[in-house]
Amino acid sequence: MRSEMLGRVLEAGKYQKMAFRKLFPESANRHFEVIEHELKELFMEGVMEIANLAVQYQSEANNEESANKTKDHHTTQENVNRTEASKSNKIKID
C-alpha cells in the first residue's frame, strides 16, 4: 500500500516537472537541470553534516556515560571499603 502510494507520488512529481519545463524555452531547461543538480548536492551535504553531528553527539554521550559509570564504580568501591573498615574497627573495639 505504501509503496503504491509512493509510486504515485513519484510519478505525479515527474509529470509536474515535465509540465513546468514546458512553460519555458528549451534553452532554459539546461539551466533548470544545473540548478536541480546543485540543489541535490547541497541537500546531500546537509544530510551528511547532520549525520556526522549525530554520530559525534552519540560518541560524546557514550563517553560521558562511560565516565559516569567509572565514577559510580569508584564511589561504590569506596563505600564498600569504608563499610569493611568500619566493621573491622568495630571488631577491634569490642
Query: What is the pLDDT tens value at each position of the chain, 94 positions in all?
Result: 789 999 999 999 999 999 999 999 988 989 999 999 999 999 999 999 999 999 999 988 888 777 766 665 556 666 666 766 666 655 555 4
Cell of 90: 568495630
Domain ranges of the chain: 2-93
Alpha carbon separation from 77 to 32, 47, 91 (Å, rounded): 67, 45, 21
CA distance 57 to 59: 5
pLDDT recorded at residue 43: 97
pLDDT in the model for residue 13: 94
Does the pTM exceed 0.75?
A: no
Q: How many residues would you count in the chain?
A: 94
Residue 62: predicted pLDDT: 82
The pLDDT value given to residue 94: 46
HEC assignment per residue over 45-65: HHHHHHHHHHHHHHHHHHHHH
Confidence at residue 85, expressed as pLDDT on a 0 to 100 scale: 63
* 25, three cell numbers: 524555452
